């Protein structure tokens, strides 16, 4: 029986035209990170299960994990996210590394989910993390990087929002302000995280059911439900306005606005699923009413490095999947345009293989990406291949050309032919590259 | 208990200084491939087990595989090599793709082996494949690419050899010339493949034990053992010289030499472990007597695409691991030198965060990789960080500087300070980048 040509379910093949687009996305990601002084790192795709068991949340570890036992009996997992790995790396050289650290990476990650539009089992994920800064300037830097990333794809600020919130504020509201106990706080947090995914009457019922009768009688549920309608920091009740976390969020919003980031909004319902966030959280949200979905997000996770038995480090970061971004880019017609990297396609005329081979070597030595046709087909067939492969120039090499050291260069988009020395040809092609 | 900071056994963490070197290696690989008109593709790291069961050889599938069952009951494997995946991709679009195809990729691969020097469980592997050419010009192109790859790392031709052989010739020798049956041929092939790893008397005994007594009495074992001493194509017995495969190897060697590749040698003992090779095979061999090991290799595998139920395609390719290459580069002091990508480290003096933030945005907008120190530490501590992080320039920003729009740039390697406008500073830094 023949082998299947299907890739593994939920995973993607990248043919050259797809890989070029992926590379263009990676290049933009990388450039923005380098502009902000971030350094690239990497870690293995396999990690021990316990690395994720600590803080990644039950869903990732129990329901969506690719976990198995290796031939040496070790319980291992294909990474579903990079944050635990990067925390491990930082903890591993805690003493040698000069804080603050600005680090990024573009790992491939795996989650066993039902494949659907904008969500596969495998995805690449830009991870950006800033270690060693506990103050709001770190938050500003994150929002600036997000803005720079979106701008690098020419996304307009009115097509997405930067939603911000604070876990400290949320804890204060649920604990001190409403008087809920720890279990109630956790339950309510999870409900709010899913608020926009369940019908509102159901949400109300769930909230009410999660609060102890004594508190409910004092109006805690109504108070919370009313508060969740808040649309801006200024609308918050006066007593909450005085809380430091609200002041910080206001400050962050105004600095961002002063630096040209006009789409920062406070969202009291923003929780973010991962357990390790400790304070500031944010999410980039597609404002297109047809999509109306979260693109990516991040936040502050000050406790993670400390889990490795070293002194804790204040940390903030975010992560962005290529799959989700691609859906956004497609929706806004912003998918990067790419072109074939090959520049000259040599067509040998007659029995001139040795000579054509030598010219191909010279062109490559001068920095030109050169395909040498070695199929021995008729010229029109070779020309057709060059066209199909979208190589911009064809170079004809026959005995006469080799003798005179003058070659005919044909630009395939215009059909124009010119005869020049090899050096002149190289500069024509290099000018075309820059254009 | 604290989480472990160890990475999974046999796998590597890449801290920024390691990742820079890895990226430099990838960039050289990529550049050579693009120069020869090769296009990059990619495929998932997980594939169905049967993809490898077909032709990858028992060792990879049974002894060294990371195989497991996913939550949907599918038998899957972390890829130990890329050739089956690329064959699957080509078969998947057999009709749409314009032959010949020149493809490359840089996948991460996994094999469960005992970790040792120059061999981990995880490695990156450059894969280069040319589909659709059955003639020797394809072989020439492979050898030229190998030469260009080694040259891109400044490796000298006298530090390595390109060993060549032909499976067709080997089959002819073992079958027609010696008269061995199919089972004997297979056993003897495997013995020859491991010839240099076992003591010679043991090798002789194993060869003799693998040949039927009747043939052995006719001197087949002695004839073979003597033939295995052959050091060049010209030394082969006259009747073998007439075989097409010998003519092809001679032709290949002479064309390679004419194009400047002087280190091609015939090695009659070269087999290459993978089952799917059908004719030409080659290996790049470190000639340093202390290492004396295979660096990488490849060959022709004309049958693989056909396993997917489509028309076969003649194919030739090779693969090169970053781990093995790195050992070679270290041994010859050729590890690529890299430098930190950050270019300017801004040190704010006094309470000028907003102004410094604005200058950092301007510098980034003009294409300069800029770190803004937001630690609020004393100036000498900030300067120390810039030095430790090897950023070449420091820019001091105080109230006076913001007012006059003139800033002091300090080059950290020389200690020289100059005061300039932002535009002038950008051009100084960009000139430094080119240097």
| Helix, strand, or coil (residue B278) | coil
Q: Please tell me whether the interface predicted TM-score (ipTM) of this complex is above 0.85.
A: yes
Coil, helix or strand for B85?
helix
Contact residues on chain B for A135, CB-CB shorter than 8 A = 374, 376
CB of B115 less than 8 A from some CB of A: no
Q: Is the pLDDT of residue A1 over 80?
A: no
Q: Name A19's Cβ contacts closer than 8 Å, sequence gap at least 6.
A: B39, B40, B41, B42, B105
Question: Of A294, A345, A344, A300, which Cα lies nearest the Cα of A320?
Answer: A294
Categorize the per-residue pLDDT at B2 as very low, low, confident or very high, splitting at 50, 70 and 90. Answer: confident
According to the model, what pLDDT value does residue A332 have?
94
Averaged pLDDT score across all residues of chain B: 94
- Contact between chains at B88 and A7 (C-beta distance less than 8 A): yes
Residues in chain A within 8 Å Cβ distance of B140: 357
Task: Tell me how crowded residue A341 is: count the other CB atoms within 10 A of its CB.
Answer: 20
Confidence of residue A257 (pLDDT cuts 50, 70, 90): very high
Q: What is the pLDDT of residues B68-90, one digit of tens each?
A: 999 889 999 999 999 999 999 99
Q: What is the pLDDT of residue A323?
A: 94
Distance, CA of A70 to CA of B68 (rounded, Å)? 9
Please, what sign has the CA dihedral across residues A131, A136, A140, A142? positive
Q: What is the pLDDT of residues A60-71, one digit of tens each?
A: 787 888 999 998
Main-chain phi, psi angles of B420, to 5 degrees: -145, 170
Interface contact A357, partner B, CB < 8 A: yes
Sheet of A370-372, strands arranged across = A370-372, A344-348, A393-397, A407-411, A417-420
Cα Rg, chain A, nearest whole Å: 28
Does the beta carbon of B37 lie under 8 angstroms from any beta carbon of chain A?
A: yes
- Chain A (254-273) residues lying within 8 Å, Cβ to Cβ, of chain B: 255, 258-260
Closest to A283 in 3D by CA, of A315, A318, A258, A328: A318
Point out which residues pair with B315 in neighbouring strands: B131
Would you call B14 and A42 a contact, using CB atoms and an 8 Å cutoff? yes
Q: Verify whether the Cβ–Cβ distance B71 to A112 is below 8 Å.
A: yes
**Could you say which of A76, A307, A353 has the minimum Cβ distance to residue B3?**
A307
Give contacts of A3 with chain B, Cβ < 8 Å.
50-51, 54, 88, 91, 307-309
Residues of A in contact with B98 (CB under 8 A): 385, 388-389
The average pLDDT across A409-416 equals 96
Give A12's contacts in chain B (Cβ within 8 Å).
44
For chain A, positions 391-410, list CB contacts with chain B under 8 A.
Answer: 391
CB-nearest to A371 from B5, B37, B45 is B37
pLDDT band for position A120 (cuts 50, 70, 90): confident
Contacts of A41 in chain B (CB under 8 A): 13-16, 19
Mutation for testing the A interface, residue in B8, B67, B342 having most A CBs under 10 Å? B8
CA nearest A99 in B: which residue?
B385
| pLDDT tens-digit readout, B260-311 | 999 999 999 998 876 788 999 999 999 988 877 899 999 999 888 999 999 9
Position A339 scores a pLDDT of: 94
Cβ contact, residue pair B361, A50, below 8 Å: no
State mean pLDDT over B231-236: 96
Which residue of chain B comes nearest to A369, CA vs CA?
Answer: B35
Would an 8 Å CB–CB cutoff place B435 in contact with chain A? no
| Per-residue pLDDT tens digits for B398-428 | 999 999 999 999 999 999 999 999 999 999 9
pLDDT score at A56: 65
Residues 285-304 of B with CB under 8 A from A: none
Q: Which of B34, B44, B345 minimises the CB distance to A369?
A: B34
CA distance B429 to B35: 30
Q: Tell me: the pLDDT tens digits for A297-337? A: 999 998 889 899 999 999 999 999 999 999 999 999 999 99
Q: Do A46 and B88 touch (CB under 8 A)?
A: no
A95–chain B Cβ distance below 8 A for any pair: no
pLDDT (average), residues B186-201 = 92
B109 touches chain A (CB under 8 A): no
Per-residue pLDDT, B86:
97
Q: Which residues of A touch B7 (CB under 8 A)?
A: 43-44, 47, 88
Q: How far is B378 from chain A (nearest CA, A)?
A: 14
pLDDT at position B62, please?
79
In tens, the pLDDT along A375-386 reads 999 999 999 999
Query: Is B89 touching A (CB cutoff 8 A)?
Result: yes
Q: What is the mean pLDDT of residues B136-164?
A: 97
The strand ranges marked E within A289-376 are 294-300, 315-321, 344-348, 370-372
Task: Output the pLDDT for position A143.
Answer: 98
| CA distances (Å), origin A179, targets A187, A204, B325 | 14, 18, 62
Q: Is the model's pLDDT at B118 over the cut of 70?
A: no
Mean pLDDT of B54-58: 69
Per-residue pLDDT tens over the stretch A267-306? 999 988 767 889 999 999 999 888 778 999 999 998 889 8
CA B230 to CA B163: how far, in whole Å?
13
Hey, is the C-beta of A5 within 8 angstroms of any chain B C-beta?
yes
Distance between CA atoms of residues B287 and B285, nearest Å: 6
Query: Is the per-residue pLDDT at A115 higher than 90?
Result: no
Q: How far apart are CA A262 and CA A257, in angstroms?
A: 5
Alpha-carbon torsion angle A388, A393, A395, A396, nearest 10? 50
Taking CA atoms, what residue in B is nearest to A77? B8
Residues 158 to 187 of B: which have CB under 8 A from any A CB? none
Percent of chain A with pLDDT over 90: 86
SS3 A350: coil
Give the residue from B374, B387, B426 with the most A CB atoms within 10 Å of its CB, the best one to mutate.
B374
- Predicted pLDDT of residue A221: 93
Q: Which residues of B touch A340 (CB under 8 A)?
A: 39
Look at residue B54 in the predicted model and tell me its pLDDT. 72
How long is chain A? 435
Given this model, what pLDDT does residue B95 score?
92
Q: Is the pLDDT score of B26 beyond 90? A: yes
Sign of CA dihedral A276, A282, A288, A289: positive
Confidence tier at A84 by pLDDT (50, 70, 90): very high
Please report the domains of chain A, with CATH numbers, ordered by start residue: 10-134+302-336 (3.30.930.10), 161-279 (3.30.930.10), 344-434 (3.40.50.800)
DSSP B337: P
**Partner residue opposite B35 with nearest CB, options A88, A258, A364:** A364
Contact state of A358 with B259 under an 8 Å Cβ cutoff: yes
Of B4, B88, B122, the CB nearest to A44: B122
Q: Average of pLDDT values for B367-381?
A: 97
* Residue-averaged pLDDT of chain A: 94
pLDDT in tens, B307-339: 999 999 999 999 999 999 999 999 999 999 999
pLDDT of residue B59: 76
State the nearest Cα–Cα gap between B193 and chain A, in angstroms: 27
């Amino acid at each position: 029986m023949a082998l299947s040509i299907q890739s593994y379910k939920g995973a993607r093949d990248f043919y050259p035209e797809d890989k070029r687009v992926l590379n263009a996305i990676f290049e933009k990601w990388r450039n923005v990170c380098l502009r902000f002084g971030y350094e690239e790192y990497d870690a293995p795709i396999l990690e021990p299960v316990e690395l994720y068991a600590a803080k990644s949340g039950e869903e990732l570890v129990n329901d969506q994990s690719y976990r198995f036992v290796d031939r040496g009996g070790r319980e291992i997992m294909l990474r579903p996210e990079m944050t635990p790995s990067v925390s491990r790396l930082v903890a591993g050289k805690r003493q040698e590394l000069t804080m603050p650290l600005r680090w990024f990476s573009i790992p491939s990650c795996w989650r066993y989910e039902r494949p659907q539009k904008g969500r596969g089992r495998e995805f690449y994920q830009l991870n950006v993390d800033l270690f060693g800064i506990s103050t709001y300037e770190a938050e500003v830097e994150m929002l600036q990087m997000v803005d720079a990333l979106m701008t690098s794809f020419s996304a307009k600020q009115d097509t997405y929002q930067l939603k911000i919130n604070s876990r400290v504020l949320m804890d204060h509201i649920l604990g001190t302000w409403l008087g809920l106990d720890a279990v109630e706080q956790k339950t309510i947090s999870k409900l709010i995280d899913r608020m926009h995914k369940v019908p509102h009457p159901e949400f109300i019922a769930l909230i009410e059911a999660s609060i102890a009768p004594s508190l409910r009688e004092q109006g805690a549920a109504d108070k919370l439900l009313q508060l969740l309608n808040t649309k801006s920091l200024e609308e918050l009740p006066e007593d909450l306005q005085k809380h430091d976390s609200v002041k910080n969020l206001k400050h962050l919003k105004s600095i961002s606005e002063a630096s040209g980031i006009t789409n920062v909004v406070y969202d009291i319902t923003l929780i973010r699923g991962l357990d390790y966030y400790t304070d500031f959280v944010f999410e980039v949200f597609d404002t297109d009413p047809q999509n109306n979905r979260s693109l990516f997000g991040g936040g502050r996770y000050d406790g993670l490095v400390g889990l490795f038995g070293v002194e804790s480090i204040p940390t903030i970061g975010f992560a962005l999947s290529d799959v989700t971004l691609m859906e956004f880019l497609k929706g806004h017609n912003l998918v990067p345009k790419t072109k074939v990297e090959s520049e000259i396609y040599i067509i040998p005329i007659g029995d001139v293989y040795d000579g054509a081979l030598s010219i191909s070597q010279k062109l490559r030595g001068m920095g030109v990406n050169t395909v040498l046709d070695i199929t021995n087909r008729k010229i029109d067939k070779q020309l057709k291949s060059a066209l199909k492969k979208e190589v911009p120039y064809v170079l004809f090499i026959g005995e006469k050309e080799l003798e005179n050291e003058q070659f005919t260069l044909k630009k395939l988009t215009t059909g124009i032919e010119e005869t020049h020395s090899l050096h002149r040809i190289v500069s024509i092609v290099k000018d075309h590259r820059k254009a």
